[in-house]
Structure 1
Amino acid sequence: MNAFASRLLLTLLFTPAAFAASTTDLAIKGTITPSACAPLISGDGTIDFGKMSAKDLNADQHTKLPNQSMLLSVRCEAPTLFTLNTVDNRAGSSANHDNWHGLGVTPEGEKLGGSAFHLYTPIADGAPVRTITSRDGGVTWELTNMLNHTLVTAVARGNDLVPIAVRALDAEIRLYTHIAPADGLTLTDEVPVDGHATVQVNYL
């Protein structure tokens, strides 16, 4: 699987000075994709829960915030085999599962919570499809609708577990967001909820 970038690989081989000749090898690798794809999220990709009072948070369990939805669109120049994943720009701050996205930390370093992304009602080139995910870079696939930084997501027809080439993809991103138990947070001052993730297109 090659992402929307090329890689330069340098390999250096050294031999002891006692030998008559020294050599060095240089390998240049990369992939030129036949078409490019651009992802777009509605509402500038921003969810704002506004101000929350600390006294309204659960003391000893997570506080579930209202579910939110946005529209994800991917447009390609031609039918293209691609996967989606996220980059958690607040990596290590999730107070939930490892595959949830972090919401930042308090000034004391306490994890504020986490958010999970799922894809619903995907439409590819005008027809309903199913989302499939892979935890091993596309070697094996399963029928799930998760979108996160621990796996890659593609679309397939029916119950097939084979990614299909797509020119236009539309789907609903639904966010499930929790705030960590208030007993474990220092909330004497105003603390911003600061989740941030990037949706990334990778080419197969």
Structure 2
Amino acid sequence: MNVFASSLLGALLLCPTAFAASNTDLLVRGSITPSACSPVIAGGGTVDFGKVSVKDLNTDTYTDLPRETMLLSVRCDGPTYFTLNTIDNRSGTAASHFSWHGLGTTPSDEKVGDAGLGLYMPVADGVSVRTITSRDGGVTWMPSVMLSHTLLTAIAHSDDVIPIAVQELDAEIRLITHIAPANNLTLTDEVPIDGHATVQVNYL
């Protein structure tokens, strides 16, 4: 290897004009994880409220739609330190809570509403645990059920606030959905409730 390097350096010094050309960079990126984890939401992760009549909406206050529950499962190849968070694919359309998930806008660019997610009754590797969240990238943690795009959610023992390694996690995702006050919306035509969020696994 040393001989090759020396010979190449000699060639560069002897023939500098042969390399006087434009160049570009090649970046090779990725990450090596201790084990892979896959999140799955039962039922394909779809909540369909069907048609909501304007007459059923509150005029001056937010309207709560029926609360929904889905099962979230995370399966890893082995015990893994990971966090969960969401990506709000309707970013900027949340009507009431900055940490909730937007439901899109009307044709008049009015925010339809928002949805909040929480993780309840978590069981990790057959043992009841608690969820903890961090707003500073994992520096500090506190007990919380929130699942959001504004923080990280991890799993801890039921009496602690330190993330633990988990291979199998099951928990309920509970969905709270609000529709903005009808007075704030132009509802002369049908308006879709168009929420879309992605649950993401991150490795610690």
Count of paired positions: 180
Paired letter, 1:45: G
Question: 2 CA distance for matches of 1:30 and 1:40?
Answer: 23
Paired letter, 1:151: L
Paired letter, 1:160: D
Post-superposition offset of 1:31: 3.3
Q: 1:107-143 deviations in whole A, cap 9, x for unaligned? A: 0100000000000000000000000000011000000
Question: 2 CA distance for matches of 1:200 and 1:162?
Answer: 20
Post-superposition offset of 1:158: 1.9
Q: Is the 8 A contact 1:100 1:114 kept in 2?
A: yes
> What runs of 5+ residues in structure 2 fail to find an aligned partner?
1-24
> Which structure has the greater CA radius of gyration?
2
Question: TM (normalized to structure 2)?
Answer: 0.85
Structure 1 residues 127 and 61: CA distance shift in structure 2, 3 A:
same
SS in 1 for 2:183: helix
Question: 2 CA distance for matches of 1:128 and 1:75?
Answer: 16
Which runs of at least 4 in structure 1 moved beyond 4 Å after TM superposition?
25-30
Paired letter, 1:134: S
SS in 1 for 2:158: coil
Question: TM (normalized to structure 1)?
Answer: 0.85
Partner of 1:32: 32
Verify: 1:136 aligned to 2:136, yes or no. Answer: yes
Question: 1 CA distance for matches of 2:87 and 2:26?
Answer: 31
Question: 1 CA distance for matches of 2:28 and 2:139?
Answer: 25
Q: 1:158-177 deviations in whole A, cap 9, x for unaligned? A: 22111000000000000000
Partner of 2:100: 100
Structure 1 or 2: larger helix share?
2
Partner of 1:125: 125
Paired letter, 2:201: V
Structure 1 or 2: larger strand share?
1
Partner of 1:179: 179
What does residue range 143-162 of structure 1 map to in structure 2 within 5 Å?
143-162=143-162
Partner of 1:4: none
Question: 2 CA distance for matches of 1:48 and 1:27?
Answer: 43
> What runs of 5+ residues in structure 1 fail to find an aligned partner?
1-24
Post-superposition offset of 1:27: 9.0
